[in-house]
Amino acid sequence: MSFARQFASKIFSGRTVLRRYSSHAANKYLVTPKEANELVQSQGAVILDSTWFMPNSPRNAAKEFQSKRIPQARFFDLDAVASPHELGLKHMIPPPRVFADACEKFGISPATPVIIYDVHGVFSSPRGLFTFRTFNHDKSVILDGGLPRWEAEGLPVETSEPVTPTAVDYPTPEFNAKAIRSYEQMLANFTGKDTPDELVLDARPKSRWLGADPEPRPEIRAGHMPGSVSLQFSLFLQKNNVNGKEFTTYLPPDKIREALIGAVGEERAQAIIDGKLPVITSCGSGMTAAIVWLGLRQLGVKDISLYDESWTGYAMRESSPVVTGE
């Protein structure tokens, strides 16, 4: 049984069957700690820690990885495996060869199953998955609940020196250009139009979308793009506290759909699910936009892309139209 089919065959308990999507789709993208452990044992899956913290956080992802990790994990530095940007933006999608070189260093071949986690539960792991899927490495999933859920369920961690994997070959992959939107494409999406061609879903907190709260970087203007809709990333997640470990996981697909309806209305939500209304996800810097991207993927949404620069890149350009309020 193929990797994708193996997880597509699973069923969320208590799911609601809704038009034109199945909760089976979620399991092409998410695994539990037990499933992740089984994949490592049976298929030689490689585990990557893609933890990322906000720039103003005192925490350091690389140092925390050095001190504790899932056994045999490698550290996937999202800011390092990236493209340079004219505005100095971080964690932009890397060039194909940079991605391939990182995979070679990790001991990952195109046939290797990959499991990505973070220390939050679900925060930066979807961005890691988005990177792999953008280069058509479809044997990739996230560990839903991350390291804290792994520990909460009694699985072992590693505190010794991290493993140095044996390098393998990874040919330069094909880049899925449809997965990413540029600044020019974002402008073209709404300029001179009453209704944008693609609906922009903004994953930032709604207060920032409204322009009521300032951006984390003081030089960045507050507000949102014309025609965009607020869909805060946290609406797709649930908080958990298990055995003293706190972490986030994705909501079941029926609850994700409810959150989508709450943001865009039932008619547009169904059009998105049916593939009749293409969407672009955006956020502050391209990180939490991937949480919304992955949530929609779990509903079976295929016509979806991500604005890599997101609000920071957009608002840094003085000529960009900015809207405040509803």
* Domains identified in the chain and CATH numbers: 3-176 (3.40.250.10), 178-316 (3.40.250.10)
Q: How confident is the model over 102-119, as a mean pLDDT?
A: 99
d(CA 114, CA 152): 22
Token pair 């961005």 in the structure block, residue: 127
- What is the reported pLDDT for 25? 54
Catalytic residue among 26, 283, 291, 296: 283
Q: How confident is the model at residue 308 (pLDDT cuts 50, 70, 90)?
A: very high
d(CA 266, CA 305): 21
| Radius of gyration over every alpha carbon of the chain, rounded to an integer in angstroms | 19
Asked if 307 and 181 touch (Cβ cutoff 8 Å), the reply is yes
d(CA 284, CA 207): 13
Helix, coil or strand: residue 139: coil
- Terminal CA-CA length for the chain: 49
- What is the reported pLDDT for 112? 98
The DSSP element (H or E) to which 311 belongs, if any, is helix 310-316
Q: How confident is the model at residue 26 (pLDDT cuts 50, 70, 90)?
A: low
Q: Is residue 27 scored above 60 in pLDDT?
A: yes
Q: How confident is the model at residue 15 (pLDDT cuts 50, 70, 90)?
A: very low
d(CA 119, CA 63): 12
Token pair 């998105």 in the structure block, residue: 272
Distances in whole angstroms, Cα of residue 269 to Cα of each of 199, 279, 288: 11, 10, 20
- DSSP state for residue 233 in the 8-state scheme: G
The pTM (predicted TM-score) of the whole model is 0.91
d(CA 190, CA 200): 10
CA 285-289-292 angle, to 5 degrees, is: 165
Helix axes 253-264, 289-297, angle to 10 degrees: 120
Q: Is residue 9 scored above 90 in pLDDT?
A: no
- What is the reported pLDDT for 123? 99
Q: Is residue 1 scored above 50 in pLDDT?
A: no
User: How confident is the model over 186-228, as pLDDT tens digits?
Assistant: 999 999 888 899 999 999 999 999 999 999 988 899 999 999 9
Residue-averaged pLDDT of the chain: 92
Q: Kindly report the number of other CB atoms within 10 A of residue 206's CB atom.
A: 16
Q: How confident is the model at residue 18 (pLDDT cuts 50, 70, 90)?
A: very low
Q: How confident is the model over 166-177, as a mean pLDDT?
A: 97
Q: Is residue 4 scored above 70 in pLDDT?
A: no
- What is the reported pLDDT for 2? 33
β-sheet bridge partners, residue 180: 306
Three-state SS sequence of 259-306: HHHHHHCHHHHHHHHCCCCCEEEECCCCCCHHHHHHHHHCCCCCCEEE
Q: Letter for the amino acid at 57? A: S
Helix axes 253-264, 266-273, angle to 10 degrees: 130
Q: Is residue 316 scored above 50 in pLDDT?
A: yes
Q: Are strands 237-242 and 229-230 parallel, antiparallel or unpaired?
A: unpaired
d(CA 198, CA 190): 8
Q: φ and ψ at 234, to 5 degrees?
A: -65, -15
- What is the reported pLDDT for 218? 87
User: How confident is the model over 65-92, as pLDDT tens digits?
Assistant: 999 999 999 999 999 999 999 898 999 9
283 a catalytic residue: yes
Q: How confident is the model at residue 146 (pLDDT cuts 50, 70, 90)?
A: very high
Q: How confident is the model over 19-37, as a mean pLDDT?
A: 72
